[in-house]
Amino acid sequence: MLALYIGVSVAHAAVPVITSELEVVAVVGEPFSYQIQAEHGPLGYSVINIPYWLKRDGARLQGTSEQIGKWTMQLLALNADGVSESVELTVQVLNGKATHAPAVFDGKQSVASSISKEDS
């Protein structure tokens, strides 16, 4: 007796996973742009609690803040298999006269800022 086996490969469903940086810095009065990145073929994105000064075009957020502050929003990505878990994006807007350089603590990037004072 001869047996014939046919194997069928089934792809596992994979909802998107957002992989872009979630703590970023902008400078007052300067154009800001942020690209949402995700794995597993996202077809669309959602941004909840987007600040008034940012506009979304697909996966890109862009705009210019006229005030310093900290804005937090939730990002989601979706594809045919479902919706990603919500992640929190924080945009810290700093004064344009401040100098800032990234510092790394426990594998996470943080921002250190200092303001230079001119002698009178």
User: Where are the extended beta strands (E) located within the chain?
Assistant: 17-18, 23-27, 32-35, 38-39, 44-48, 54-57, 60-63, 69-79, 82-83, 87-94, 98-105, 108-115
In single-letter form, the type of residue at position 119 comes to: D
pTM above 0.85, yes or no: no
| Residue 31 maps to a domain | yes
Number of domains in the chain: 1
Residue 2 lies in a domain: no
85 assigned to some structural domain: yes
pLDDT < 50 positions in the chain: 8-10, 98, 100-120
Note whether residue 11 is domain-resident: no
Digit-coded pLDDT (tens) for 31-52: 999 999 999 999 999 999 999 9
What is the CATH number for 106? Answer: 2.60.40.10
For residue 108, the model assigns a pLDDT of: 46
Range of the domain at 79: 17-115
